[in-house]
Protein backbone atom coordinates (compact mmCIF):
# COMPACT_ATOMS: atom_id res chain seq x y z
CA UNK A 1 0.00 0.00 0.00
CA UNK A 2 1.35 3.43 -0.90
CA UNK A 3 1.81 6.09 1.75
CA UNK A 4 -1.41 7.89 2.61
CA UNK A 5 -1.63 11.43 1.25
CA UNK A 6 -3.68 13.63 3.53
CA UNK A 7 -5.87 15.87 1.39
CA UNK A 8 -8.90 18.09 1.74
CA UNK A 9 -12.15 16.33 0.78
CA UNK A 10 -12.45 18.53 -2.30
CA UNK A 11 -9.04 17.30 -3.52
CA UNK A 12 -9.64 13.55 -3.23
CA UNK A 13 -10.17 12.97 -6.93
CA UNK A 14 -7.36 15.22 -8.12
CA UNK A 15 -4.93 13.65 -5.66
CA UNK A 16 -5.89 10.17 -6.86
CA UNK A 17 -5.36 11.30 -10.44
CA UNK A 18 -1.90 12.58 -9.52
CA UNK A 19 -1.07 9.35 -7.73
CA UNK A 20 -2.07 7.32 -10.75
CA UNK A 21 -0.14 9.56 -13.10
CA UNK A 22 2.95 8.91 -11.02
CA UNK A 23 2.33 5.14 -11.36
CA UNK A 24 2.41 5.09 -15.14
CA UNK A 25 4.84 2.55 -16.62
CA UNK A 26 5.16 0.74 -13.30
CA UNK A 27 3.18 -2.39 -14.15
CA UNK A 28 0.29 -1.26 -12.01
CA UNK A 29 -3.19 -2.00 -13.20
CA UNK A 30 -5.94 0.14 -11.71
CA UNK A 31 -9.03 -1.91 -11.13
CA UNK A 32 -12.38 -1.66 -9.44
CA UNK A 33 -15.17 -4.20 -9.50
CA UNK A 34 -17.28 -2.54 -6.86
CA UNK A 35 -17.33 0.17 -4.23
CA UNK A 36 -16.50 -1.13 -0.80
CA UNK A 37 -17.28 1.05 2.19
CA UNK A 38 -15.91 -0.05 5.55
CA UNK A 39 -17.01 1.46 8.77
CA UNK A 40 -15.46 0.85 12.15
CA UNK A 41 -14.84 2.72 15.34
CA UNK A 42 -11.23 3.47 16.08
CA UNK A 43 -10.08 0.44 18.08
CA UNK A 44 -7.59 -2.41 17.83
CA UNK A 45 -10.19 -4.12 15.67
CA UNK A 46 -9.60 -1.46 13.06
CA UNK A 47 -6.48 -3.44 12.08
CA UNK A 48 -8.52 -6.59 11.61
CA UNK A 49 -10.90 -4.82 9.24
CA UNK A 50 -7.90 -3.63 7.24
CA UNK A 51 -6.78 -7.24 6.91
CA UNK A 52 -10.19 -8.20 5.55
CA UNK A 53 -9.84 -5.35 3.07
CA UNK A 54 -6.56 -6.75 1.88
CA UNK A 55 -8.06 -10.23 1.52
CA UNK A 56 -10.95 -8.94 -0.50
CA UNK A 57 -8.90 -6.95 -2.94
CA UNK A 58 -6.57 -9.88 -3.51
CA UNK A 59 -9.56 -11.58 -5.08
CA UNK A 60 -11.70 -8.69 -6.18
CA UNK A 61 -10.23 -5.21 -6.57
CA UNK A 62 -12.53 -2.42 -5.43
CA UNK A 63 -12.59 1.28 -4.72
CA UNK A 64 -12.33 1.31 -0.98
CA UNK A 65 -13.70 3.86 1.43
CA UNK A 66 -12.40 3.24 4.93
CA UNK A 67 -14.28 5.18 7.57
CA UNK A 68 -13.12 5.15 11.15
CA UNK A 69 -14.65 7.17 13.93
CA UNK A 70 -12.78 8.33 16.98
CA UNK A 71 -15.50 8.30 19.63
CA UNK A 72 -13.18 9.75 22.26
CA UNK A 73 -12.80 13.05 20.44
CA UNK A 74 -15.37 15.82 20.74
CA UNK A 75 -14.03 17.86 17.82
CA UNK A 76 -16.17 18.44 14.75
CA UNK A 77 -13.49 17.53 12.25
CA UNK A 78 -12.95 15.07 9.43
CA UNK A 79 -9.62 14.07 7.94
CA UNK A 80 -9.36 12.48 4.54
CA UNK A 81 -6.44 10.72 2.92
CA UNK A 82 -5.90 8.80 -0.27
CA UNK A 83 -3.52 6.04 -1.19
CA UNK A 84 -3.22 3.12 -3.51
CA UNK A 85 -3.74 -0.37 -2.24
CA UNK A 86 -2.08 -3.25 -3.96
CA UNK A 87 -3.11 -6.90 -4.23
CA UNK A 88 0.61 -7.67 -4.39
CA UNK A 89 0.16 -10.70 -6.57
CA UNK A 90 1.50 -11.57 -9.96
CA UNK A 91 3.56 -9.73 -12.49
CA UNK A 92 0.93 -7.10 -13.11
CA UNK A 93 0.12 -5.54 -9.81
CA UNK A 94 -3.61 -5.04 -9.52
CA UNK A 95 -4.18 -1.93 -7.46
CA UNK A 96 -7.13 -0.04 -6.07
CA UNK A 97 -8.05 3.41 -4.83
CA UNK A 98 -8.10 3.63 -1.06
CA UNK A 99 -9.91 6.61 0.42
CA UNK A 100 -9.62 6.94 4.16
CA UNK A 101 -11.98 9.08 6.19
CA UNK A 102 -11.24 9.69 9.86
CA UNK A 103 -14.18 11.25 11.63
CA UNK A 104 -15.27 11.94 15.18
CA UNK A 105 -18.69 11.29 16.67
CA UNK A 106 -19.50 14.96 16.19
CA UNK A 107 -18.48 14.97 12.53
CA UNK A 108 -19.87 11.64 11.33
CA UNK A 109 -22.79 13.43 9.72
CA UNK A 110 -20.38 14.84 7.14
CA UNK A 111 -19.16 11.45 5.96
CA UNK A 112 -21.92 10.59 3.43
CA UNK A 113 -21.43 13.99 1.80
CA UNK A 114 -17.73 13.26 1.41
CA UNK A 115 -18.20 9.76 0.04
CA UNK A 116 -21.07 10.41 -2.35
CA UNK A 117 -19.16 12.26 -5.11
CA UNK A 118 -16.52 9.54 -5.23
CA UNK A 119 -18.69 6.47 -5.67
CA UNK A 120 -17.85 4.74 -8.96
CA UNK A 121 -21.15 4.80 -10.86
CA UNK A 122 -22.71 1.58 -12.17
CA UNK A 123 -20.69 -0.65 -9.85
CA UNK A 124 -22.28 -2.26 -6.79
CA UNK A 125 -21.83 -0.58 -3.42
CA UNK A 126 -21.01 -2.87 -0.52
CA UNK A 127 -21.18 -1.51 2.98
CA UNK A 128 -19.24 -3.50 5.56
CA UNK A 129 -20.54 -2.22 8.86
CA UNK A 130 -18.00 -3.19 11.49
CA UNK A 131 -20.20 -2.22 14.43
CA UNK A 132 -23.21 -3.68 16.15
CA UNK A 133 -26.22 -2.96 13.92
CA UNK A 134 -28.42 -2.98 17.01
CA UNK A 135 -27.03 0.46 17.83
CA UNK A 136 -28.77 3.32 16.07
CA UNK A 137 -26.51 5.13 13.62
CA UNK A 138 -27.64 8.00 11.40
CA UNK A 139 -24.51 7.41 9.32
CA UNK A 140 -25.45 3.82 8.64
CA UNK A 141 -28.97 4.82 7.71
CA UNK A 142 -27.59 7.31 5.17
CA UNK A 143 -25.15 4.83 3.68
CA UNK A 144 -27.76 2.06 3.58
CA UNK A 145 -29.77 4.19 1.17
CA UNK A 146 -27.12 3.93 -1.51
CA UNK A 147 -25.74 0.48 -0.70
CA UNK A 148 -26.56 -2.59 -2.76
CA UNK A 149 -25.26 -5.00 -0.10
CA UNK A 150 -24.91 -4.74 3.65
CA UNK A 151 -22.27 -6.85 5.29
CA UNK A 152 -22.40 -7.20 9.05
CA UNK A 153 -20.12 -8.94 11.45
CA UNK A 154 -21.96 -10.65 14.27
CA UNK A 155 -18.67 -10.61 16.16
CA UNK A 156 -19.53 -6.98 16.94
CA UNK A 157 -22.82 -7.95 18.55
CA UNK A 158 -23.14 -7.19 22.22
CA UNK A 159 -26.04 -9.63 22.35
CA UNK A 160 -26.56 -12.09 19.51
CA UNK A 161 -30.30 -12.17 20.04
CA UNK A 162 -30.62 -8.40 19.80
CA UNK A 163 -28.30 -8.57 16.79
CA UNK A 164 -30.62 -11.09 15.13
CA UNK A 165 -33.63 -8.88 15.75
CA UNK A 166 -31.78 -5.94 14.23
CA UNK A 167 -30.88 -7.90 11.12
CA UNK A 168 -34.53 -8.80 10.63
CA UNK A 169 -35.58 -5.20 11.09
CA UNK A 170 -33.00 -4.03 8.55
CA UNK A 171 -34.05 -6.72 6.11
CA UNK A 172 -37.64 -5.63 6.49
CA UNK A 173 -37.04 -2.04 5.49
CA UNK A 174 -34.06 -2.33 3.13
CA UNK A 175 -33.91 -3.78 -0.34
CA UNK A 176 -30.20 -4.52 0.05
CA UNK A 177 -28.66 -7.95 0.08
CA UNK A 178 -27.45 -8.87 3.56
CA UNK A 179 -24.35 -10.85 4.46
CA UNK A 180 -22.72 -11.74 7.76
CA UNK A 181 -19.02 -12.48 8.13
CA UNK A 182 -19.59 -15.24 10.69
CA UNK A 183 -22.16 -16.90 8.47
CA UNK A 184 -19.67 -16.69 5.61
CA UNK A 185 -16.97 -18.29 7.77
CA UNK A 186 -19.27 -21.28 8.30
CA UNK A 187 -19.68 -21.97 4.61
CA UNK A 188 -17.15 -24.79 4.60
CA UNK A 189 -18.97 -26.61 7.44
CA UNK A 190 -22.31 -26.12 5.78
CA UNK A 191 -20.98 -27.51 2.51
CA UNK A 192 -19.39 -30.46 4.27
CA UNK A 193 -22.52 -31.44 6.21
CA UNK A 194 -24.64 -31.01 3.10
CA UNK A 195 -22.35 -33.37 1.23
CA UNK A 196 -22.23 -35.98 4.00
CA UNK A 197 -25.97 -36.06 4.58
CA UNK A 198 -26.86 -35.83 0.95
CA UNK A 199 -28.02 -39.42 0.61
CA UNK A 200 -31.33 -40.58 1.99
CA UNK A 201 -29.91 -43.01 4.52
CA UNK A 202 -27.62 -40.52 6.13
CA UNK A 203 -30.24 -37.80 6.05
CA UNK A 204 -32.70 -40.11 7.84
CA UNK A 205 -30.03 -40.68 10.48
CA UNK A 206 -29.55 -36.94 10.81
CA UNK A 207 -33.27 -36.43 11.32
CA UNK A 208 -33.16 -38.84 14.28
CA UNK A 209 -30.32 -37.03 16.07
CA UNK A 210 -30.96 -36.54 19.80
CA UNK A 211 -27.65 -35.04 20.82
CA UNK A 212 -25.49 -32.49 19.15
CA UNK A 213 -22.21 -31.32 20.59
CA UNK A 214 -19.96 -28.62 19.17
CA UNK A 215 -16.53 -27.81 20.54
CA UNK A 216 -15.06 -24.47 19.57
CA UNK A 217 -11.94 -22.48 20.24
CA UNK A 218 -12.77 -19.98 22.98
CA UNK A 219 -9.35 -18.33 22.89
CA UNK A 220 -10.05 -14.62 22.51
CA UNK A 221 -7.89 -12.08 20.71
CA UNK A 222 -8.05 -8.28 20.69
CA UNK A 223 -10.20 -8.62 17.55
CA UNK A 224 -12.45 -11.45 18.65
CA UNK A 225 -14.17 -11.83 21.94
CA UNK A 226 -17.51 -13.39 20.94
CA UNK A 227 -16.02 -16.71 20.01
CA UNK A 228 -19.18 -18.76 20.43
CA UNK A 229 -21.14 -17.23 17.58
CA UNK A 230 -20.07 -19.55 14.77
CA UNK A 231 -21.07 -22.56 16.86
CA UNK A 232 -24.41 -20.99 17.71
CA UNK A 233 -24.98 -20.30 14.02
CA UNK A 234 -24.08 -23.86 13.05
CA UNK A 235 -26.49 -25.49 15.52
CA UNK A 236 -29.19 -22.95 14.62
CA UNK A 237 -28.73 -23.78 10.97
CA UNK A 238 -29.16 -27.50 11.62
CA UNK A 239 -32.15 -26.82 13.85
CA UNK A 240 -33.88 -24.66 11.28
CA UNK A 241 -33.12 -27.03 8.41
CA UNK A 242 -34.40 -30.03 10.34
CA UNK A 243 -37.51 -28.29 11.58
CA UNK A 244 -36.65 -28.35 15.26
CA UNK A 245 -38.69 -26.26 17.68
CA UNK A 246 -36.81 -24.40 20.37
CA UNK A 247 -37.78 -25.26 23.94
CA UNK A 248 -35.12 -23.35 25.83
CA UNK A 249 -31.52 -22.36 26.26
CA UNK A 250 -29.19 -22.03 29.20
CA UNK A 251 -25.69 -21.02 30.04
CA UNK A 252 -23.67 -23.45 32.15
CA UNK A 253 -20.20 -22.12 32.84
CA UNK A 254 -18.48 -21.78 29.51
CA UNK A 255 -21.00 -24.02 27.82
CA UNK A 256 -24.31 -23.19 26.25
CA UNK A 257 -27.15 -25.65 26.03
CA UNK A 258 -30.18 -25.55 23.78
CA UNK A 259 -33.15 -27.84 23.95
CA UNK A 260 -35.38 -28.50 20.95
CA UNK A 261 -38.18 -30.75 19.90
CA UNK A 262 -37.44 -32.36 16.57
CA UNK A 263 -39.99 -32.82 13.82
CA UNK A 264 -41.32 -35.99 15.49
CA UNK A 265 -41.59 -34.20 18.86
CA UNK A 266 -38.60 -35.95 20.35
CA UNK A 267 -36.22 -33.96 22.48
CA UNK A 268 -32.85 -32.84 21.10
CA UNK A 269 -30.06 -31.60 23.38
CA UNK A 270 -27.45 -29.32 21.95
CA UNK A 271 -24.27 -28.50 23.82
CA UNK A 272 -21.67 -25.99 22.80
CA UNK A 273 -18.43 -26.45 24.71
CA UNK A 274 -15.23 -24.50 24.70
CA UNK A 275 -11.58 -25.37 24.41
CA UNK A 276 -8.70 -22.97 24.29
CA UNK A 277 -6.09 -23.18 21.56
CA UNK A 278 -3.90 -20.13 21.24
CA UNK A 279 -2.65 -21.29 17.84
CA UNK A 280 -6.11 -21.57 16.30
CA UNK A 281 -8.34 -18.79 15.00
CA UNK A 282 -10.82 -17.64 17.64
CA UNK A 283 -14.27 -19.13 17.35
CA UNK A 284 -13.06 -21.93 15.09
CA UNK A 285 -15.21 -25.04 15.31
CA UNK A 286 -12.94 -27.84 16.44
CA UNK A 287 -15.35 -30.77 16.45
CA UNK A 288 -18.94 -31.71 15.92
CA UNK A 289 -20.73 -34.80 17.25
CA UNK A 290 -24.18 -35.94 16.23
CA UNK A 291 -25.75 -38.87 18.03
CA UNK A 292 -29.16 -40.51 18.00
CA UNK A 293 -30.82 -42.58 20.68
CA UNK A 294 -29.62 -45.84 19.17
CA UNK A 295 -25.89 -45.19 19.65
CA UNK A 296 -25.39 -44.07 16.09
CA UNK A 297 -22.79 -41.31 16.06
CA UNK A 298 -21.23 -39.03 13.48
CA UNK A 299 -17.99 -37.48 14.62
CA UNK A 300 -16.28 -34.64 12.79
CA UNK A 301 -12.97 -33.39 14.06
CA UNK A 302 -10.68 -30.76 12.65
CA UNK A 303 -7.03 -31.56 12.24
CA UNK A 304 -5.50 -28.75 14.20
CA UNK A 305 -2.22 -29.18 12.34
CA UNK A 306 -3.97 -28.72 8.98
CA UNK A 307 -7.06 -26.61 9.46
CA UNK A 308 -8.71 -27.43 6.17
CA UNK A 309 -8.78 -31.14 7.02
CA UNK A 310 -11.76 -32.66 8.82
CA UNK A 311 -11.69 -36.25 9.96
CA UNK A 312 -15.11 -37.82 9.74
CA UNK A 313 -16.21 -41.11 11.25
CA UNK A 314 -19.45 -42.97 11.83
CA UNK A 315 -20.17 -45.60 14.43
CA UNK A 316 -23.16 -47.56 15.58
CA UNK A 317 -23.76 -50.52 17.84
CA UNK A 318 -22.92 -52.83 14.94
CA UNK A 319 -20.39 -50.96 12.82
CA UNK A 320 -17.60 -48.39 12.92
CA UNK A 321 -16.11 -46.77 9.81
CA UNK A 322 -12.49 -45.86 9.34
CA UNK A 323 -12.17 -42.11 9.70
CA UNK A 324 -12.30 -40.33 6.37
CA UNK A 325 -10.23 -37.26 5.75
CA UNK A 326 -12.27 -34.49 4.12
CA UNK A 327 -10.86 -31.27 2.78
CA UNK A 328 -12.74 -28.06 3.27
CA UNK A 329 -12.16 -24.55 1.93
CA UNK A 330 -10.00 -22.24 3.96
CA UNK A 331 -12.92 -20.25 5.16
CA UNK A 332 -10.92 -17.55 6.81
CA UNK A 333 -9.00 -16.31 3.83
CA UNK A 334 -10.18 -18.11 0.77
CA UNK A 335 -12.09 -17.01 -2.27
CA UNK A 336 -15.18 -18.69 -0.86
CA UNK A 337 -15.32 -16.27 2.05
CA UNK A 338 -15.04 -13.31 -0.27
CA UNK A 339 -17.64 -14.72 -2.62
CA UNK A 340 -19.97 -15.38 0.27
CA UNK A 341 -19.54 -11.80 1.39
CA UNK A 342 -19.61 -10.16 -1.99
CA UNK A 343 -21.57 -12.16 -4.47
CA UNK A 344 -24.16 -14.45 -2.96
CA UNK A 345 -27.63 -13.13 -2.50
CA UNK A 346 -29.16 -12.92 0.94
CA UNK A 347 -29.21 -16.50 2.17
CA UNK A 348 -32.64 -17.75 3.15
CA UNK A 349 -30.94 -20.25 5.45
CA UNK A 350 -29.21 -17.36 7.17
CA UNK A 351 -32.47 -15.49 7.55
CA UNK A 352 -34.05 -18.57 9.08
CA UNK A 353 -31.35 -18.92 11.70
CA UNK A 354 -31.65 -15.23 12.44
CA UNK A 355 -35.39 -15.70 12.90
CA UNK A 356 -34.75 -18.64 15.20
CA UNK A 357 -32.26 -16.70 17.28
CA UNK A 358 -34.54 -13.69 17.48
CA UNK A 359 -37.17 -15.81 19.20
CA UNK A 360 -34.84 -16.76 22.04
CA UNK A 361 -34.92 -15.05 25.37
CA UNK A 362 -31.92 -12.85 25.85
CA UNK A 363 -29.94 -14.94 28.30
CA UNK A 364 -26.40 -13.85 27.62
CA UNK A 365 -25.63 -16.86 25.46
CA UNK A 366 -23.28 -14.63 23.54
Partner 1 sequence: MSKNSSHPLEEPGMSSRFMEPCILVIFGATGDLTARKLVPAIYNLAREGQLPPQFACVGFARRDKTHEQFREEMKEAINSFSRVKPIDENLWSTFKEQLYYHKSEFHEDEGYDRLSTFLTDLDKKLGTKGNRVFYLSTQPSYFTTICEKLHKAKLIYEYENSPSWSRIIIEKPFGHNTESAHQLQSELLKYMDESQIYRIDHYLGKETVQNILVFRFANSLFESLWNNRYIDHVQITVAEDIGIGTRGAFWEEAGFLRDILQNHMMQVLSLVTMEPPVSLEARAIHDEKVKVLEAIRPFSREDLDHAVVRGQYDKGIVNGSKVIGYREEKNVNPQSAVETYVALKLYIDNWRWAGVPFYLRGGKRLPKKGTEISIFFKDPPCVLFQHPGMKNEPNVLTIRIQPDEGTSLKINCKVPGSSNFIQPVKMNFRYGKYFGMAPPEAYERLIQDCIYGDNTLFARQDEVFSSWNLLSPVLDHWANNPPKDFPNYPCGSWGPKSADDLIMNDGRKWRLL
User: By the criterion CB under 8 A, which residues form the site for partner 1?
Assistant: 8-10, 33-34, 60, 78, 80, 110, 113-114, 116-117, 119-125, 146, 177, 335, 339, 343-348
The rounded distance, in Å, linking the Cα atoms of 321 and 319 is 7
Closest distance between partner 1 and the C-beta of residue 197, in Å? 21
The rounded distance, in Å, linking the Cα atoms of 182 and 189 is 12
Which residue's CB is nearer to partner 1, number 287 or number 346?
Answer: 346
Closest distance between partner 1 and the C-beta of residue 211, in Å? 32
Which residue's CB is nearer to partner 1, number 144 or number 296?
Answer: 144
Closest distance between partner 1 and the C-beta of residue 114, in Å? 6
- Beta partners for 289? 213, 299
The rounded distance, in Å, linking the Cα atoms of 183 and 340 is 9
Closest distance between partner 1 and the C-beta of residue 127, in Å? 13
Which residue's CB is nearer to partner 1, number 253 or number 345?
Answer: 345
Which residue's CB is nearer to partner 1, number 7 or number 366?
Answer: 7
Which residue's CB is nearer to partner 1, number 8 or number 247?
Answer: 8
Kind of pairing between the strands at 255-261 and 5-7: unpaired
Closest distance between partner 1 and the C-beta of residue 7, in Å? 10
Closest distance between partner 1 and the C-beta of residue 9, in Å? 3
Distance, C-alpha 132 to centroid of its chain:
13
Closest distance between partner 1 and the C-beta of residue 99, in Å? 12
Q: CB–CB of 52/224 below 8 Å? A: no
Closest distance between partner 1 and the C-beta of residue 113, in Å? 4
Q: At what angle do helices 229-241 and 348-358 cross, to 10 degrees?
A: 100
Contacts of residue 216, Cβ cutoff 8 Å, sequence gap at least 6: 227, 228, 230, 231, 272, 273, 274, 275, 283, 284, 285, 286
The rounded distance, in Å, linking the Cα atoms of 18 and 253 is 58
Helix (H) or strand (E) holding 167, with range, is helix 160-173
* Strand boundaries in the chain, DSSP class E: 5-7, 28-30, 35-41, 63-70, 79-86, 93-104, 125-129, 149-152, 177-180, 209-217, 245-252, 255-261, 267-275, 285-292, 297-302, 309-315, 324-327
Closest distance between partner 1 and the C-beta of residue 315, in Å? 33
- Beta partners for 214? 272, 288
Which residue's CB is nearer to partner 1, number 82 or number 246?
Answer: 82
160 phi and psi angles, rounded to 5 deg = -65, -30
Radius of gyration over alpha carbons of the chain, in Å?
Answer: 22
Which residue's CB is nearer to partner 1, number 258 or number 350?
Answer: 350
Which residue's CB is nearer to partner 1, number 339 or number 355?
Answer: 339
Which residue's CB is nearer to partner 1, number 288 or number 354?
Answer: 354
Amino acid sequence: MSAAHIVAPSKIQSELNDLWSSMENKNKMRASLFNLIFYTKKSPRDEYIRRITQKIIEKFPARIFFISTDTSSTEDSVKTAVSIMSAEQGEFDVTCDFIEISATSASEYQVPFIIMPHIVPDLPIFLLWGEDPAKQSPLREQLEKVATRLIFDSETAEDIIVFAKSILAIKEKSKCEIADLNWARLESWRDLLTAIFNDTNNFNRLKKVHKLKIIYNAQETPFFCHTRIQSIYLQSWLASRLGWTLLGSSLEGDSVCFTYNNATKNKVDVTIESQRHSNLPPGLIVSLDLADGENETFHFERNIEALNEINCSYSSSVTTTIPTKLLIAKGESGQSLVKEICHKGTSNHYLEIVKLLSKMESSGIC
